[in-house]
Amino acid sequence: MSDLTALHAAILAAPEDDAPRAAYAAAVATTDPERSELISLQLRLDASRKAQRPSDERGAAAMRAGTLMRARGADWARDIAPLVARTRFVRGFVEDVLLDAPAFLASASQLYATAPILHLTLTNVRAVDPLALFTSPHLERLRSLDLARTELGDLEVALLASQRLPNLRWLSVAGNNVTRAGLDALASTASLPALGYVDLSANLVADPMPGLVDEESVPTALALELIHAHGPIAWLDLHRFRDWPPERDALP
């Protein structure tokens, strides 16, 4: 096994860990300096976002990373690209993918053996058995999950909320058919302990997210009802964020 293969295996085995990625950047610094630069840049950008430093401090680094991606991104994503509809690099590697739900259930093991995926956007969710999808162990590693505009109802949302997903920080169920029952399932669950942001906009129930007035968070009446019924809810607390809505890879 080559050193790079071993380093890539270490990244796949510990996708949350920055150290193997930094080691990979150092290993390719002379043979592929642009690859090394992208990894280093995105590691710094990620640390800045998670520390909630002002976004204008990241401008130059983000622009340079974008230039590198436009020039070389397709080459760096060539192994994973045939398996998905869209890729996005985070911390120097493909960490964010879009594909349809049947393809995810069929190929999740191969996907995770190819790239350190932590962020998933699914389409065509109604084409699969919701029990098979939402009880899949392949969801357990995810930090973010986008299920917007996939025709979900309360049963699917409650099923998702009942699963033990310890790493999930960011969730979108926007543009679906969620009512108060689905909202209560999300607000009351203890199975999503790290959840810090939920996009519930454009559903059958009103969006409970607080509004901003003069840069101050103002809770909605529905948010107060949920907190009264279920206790403190982290994803209803806007005071924790400098930027709103938070980027899906920015929640610590």
3-state secondary structure 151-214: CCCHHHHHHHHCCCCCCCCEEECCCCCCCHHHHHHHHHCCCCCCCCEEECCCCCCCCCCCEEEC
Tell me what percent of the residues of the chain surpass a pLDDT of 90: 81
pLDDT at 84: 98
As given in the structure block, the two tokens for residue 171 are 């969730």
Digit-coded pLDDT (tens) for 152-208: 999 999 999 999 999 999 999 999 999 999 999 999 999 999 999 999 999 999 999
Which residues, including other chains, have CB under 8 Å from residue 149's CB and lie 6 or more apart? Answer: 174, 175, 176
As given in the structure block, the two tokens for residue 169 are 């920080």
Look up the pTM and report it: 0.93
Nearest to 201 by CA among 148, 144, 160, 123: 148
Indicate whether 217 pLDDT > 70.
no
Band the pLDDT of 211: cuts 50, 70, 90.
Answer: low
pLDDT at 27: 96
Indicate whether 214 pLDDT > 60.
no
pLDDT at 18: 97
Digit-coded pLDDT (tens) for 12-70: 999 999 999 999 999 999 999 999 999 999 999 999 888 877 766 678 888 999 999 99
Better-scored residue on pLDDT, 189 or 239? 189
